[in-house]
Amino acid sequence: MIFPFPSPSPSLFLPLPLPPSFSDIWNNTWYPKAKDHINTEKTWYVVDATDKILGRLASTIAVHIHGKNLATYTPTIDMGAFVIVFYCMNKFSLLETCSYWYGSGFFLSNLTQYVNAEKVAASGKKRTQKLYRRHSGRPGGMKVETFNQLQQRIPERIIEHAIRGMLPKGRALFNHLKVYKGPDHPHNAQKSIELLIRDKRVQKQR
């Protein structure tokens, strides 16, 4: 069994998976055994979605859930990782940092333009123009919402909708995505690591 040693890419700083099991490496294409994809030993990643561009973030997350960033990728087996997405809707955390920087004379009215900052971002006029549609099944039952309205109502759904469209069909992989409003999530026991996003344009520009 050949032991893979650390490579010079960013994966050096992430926990390396167990070396995959091999037999007759040159005549049989590697296929994962049961111990190569045990659910309890999969990596858990955490991402903070505040101020990140929706599509670019969703794309990276979907790649990690699907397992396409791993050399051991197999389309028929779920080799991907779990991803936790959280983001803060709380406008007061920005107020605290601002009053620290600018002193206590800082008025809330100055901040109104920043209140929308602590959410998933979308460039251009998508906040008011991007539509989310669903149909109840009955005639005339089409319901349409804008990005803004859906964000007021159920903000998790925006990220889930984006990522669901990027994953293969079926609930198995989609259930590996956990989205939470607010900075807390119940998965502290999983000891998740920060997800490195290589896309340079994922952060919203001001």
Partner 1 sequence: MTRIKRGYIARRRRKKISLFASSFRGAHSRLTRTITQQRIRALVSAHRDRDRKKRDFRRLWITRINTVIYGVGVSYSYSRLIHNLYKKQLLLNRKILAQIAISNRNCLYMISNEIRK
Exposure on the CB side of residue 14, measured as CA atoms within 13 A: 20
CB 57, CB 49: distance < 8 Å: yes
Residue closer to partner 1 (CB basis): 120 or 167: 167
By CB under 8 A, residue 68 contacts partner 1: yes
CB 58, CB 162: distance < 8 Å: yes
Residue closer to partner 1 (CB basis): 43 or 151: 43
CB 128, CB 117: distance < 8 Å: no
Compute CA distances 68 → 103, 145, 168, 169, whole Å.
48, 32, 12, 15
| Contacts (CB under 8 A) with partner 1, residues 12-51 | 20, 22, 25-26, 29-30
Least distance in angstroms from the C-beta of 73 to partner 1: 6
Least distance in angstroms from the C-beta of 162 to partner 1: 22
The two structure tokens encoding residue 109: 């009215």
| Contacts (CB under 8 A) with partner 1, residues 71-130 | 71-75
Residue closer to partner 1 (CB basis): 22 or 100: 22
Which residues are near partner 1 by CB under 8 A?
A: 2, 4-5, 7-11, 20, 22, 25-26, 29-30, 68-75
